Structure 1
Amino acid sequence: MFESERSQRATAGVEAHARILWALPVTAAEMAHRREHGHEALERLFDEHAIVPTDPRRPSVA
């Protein structure tokens, strides 16, 4: 199903879904880690280091 079809269905009241996306700034090193090890590995690093996602000056975890 295409995104436009889902949007039409939701606005028609047949079925409604919400998709929440997080926007988290990441460093170049974190992106390289994600490319090499996958997004779950990067998320584990975030959890292990207990990052504060709202801190724009947080240190890199990778």
Structure 2
Amino acid sequence: MMAIKEKATISLDAQTKRDGIAILDAMGLNLSTFAEMSLRQLVRDGRLPFTPSVRPSFEKDN
């Protein structure tokens, strides 16, 4: 039996959304699939599926 999907809404700035979708398109994925993959990994591992970091250019600006 297939699980019933629920809708979720997120707010993103337009440029981040465009850039992310372009990268995901190149990988053959869409934003919804990426969000589900990330959440599944978060639930499975009990931690973020990436290591948060600050880019050096951001550090210099602040």
What is the TM-score when the length of structure 1 is the normalising length? 0.31
Kindly indicate whether structure 1 or structure 2 has the higher relative contact order, using CA contacts under 8 Å at least 6 residues apart: 1
From the CA coordinates, give the structure whose radius of gyration is larger: 1
More helix by proportion, 1 or 2?
2
What is the TM-score when the length of structure 2 is the normalising length? 0.31
